[in-house]
Amino acid sequence: MSQIRGRFSKPADKLAALYTNSFPFDRRLYSFDIAGSMAHANMLARQGIITAEEGKQIVAGLKEVIIEFQQGKFDFKPGYEDIHMAVEARLIEKIGEVGRKLHTARSRNDQVALGSRLFVIEAIADTIKSIRAFQRTLLEVAEKNLKVVIPGYTHLQVAQPVLLAHHLLAYFEMLQRDVVRFSDAFDRTDVMPLGSGALAGVAYDIDRDFVAKELGFSQISRNSIDAVADRDFILEFESAASICMMHFSRLAEELALWSSAEFAFIELDDAFTTGSSIMPQKKNPDVAELARGKTGRVYGNLQALLTTMKGLPLAYNSDMQEDKEGLFDTADTLLSTLAVFTGMVGTLKVNAAKAREAAGRGYILATDLADYLVKKGEPFRTAHEIVAKLVNYAAKKGKSFADLKPVEYKKFSPLFGSDVFKISIETSLAARDVLGGTAPKRVKQALLKAKKMIGEAEG
The catalytic position among 155, 166, 259, 428 is 155
DSSP track, 289-301: HHHHHHHHHHHHH
Q: How far is CA 404 from CA 401, 409, 420, in A?
A: 5, 7, 11
Known catalytic membership, residue 155: yes
Burial bucket for residue 97 (CB in 10 Å: 0-12, 13-18, 19+): exposed
Task: Report whether the peptide linkage leading into residue 39 is cis, meaning its omega lies within 30 degrees of zero.
Answer: no
Q: How many CB atoms lie within 10 A of CB 93?
A: 13
Known catalytic membership, residue 276: yes
Cβ-contact 29, 83 below 8 angstroms: yes
Q: How many CA atoms lie within 13 A of 199 on its CB side?
A: 8
One-letter amino acid identity for 123?
Answer: A
Q: How far apart are CA 187 and CA 288, in angstroms?
A: 32
Q: How far apart are CA 26 and CA 115, in angstroms?
A: 10
The catalytic position among 276, 277, 413, 424 is 276
Q: Would the CA dihedral through 309, 313, 315, 319 be positive or negative? A: negative
Q: How far apart are CA 136 and CA 130, in angstroms?
A: 10
- Helix H, strand E, coil C: the string for 190-220 is CEECCCCCCCCCCCCCCCHHHHHHHHCCCEE
For strand 266-267 and strand 219-220, is the pairing parallel, antiparallel, or unpaired? Answer: unpaired
One-letter amino acid identity for 96?
Answer: G
- The residues that are catalytic are 155, 276
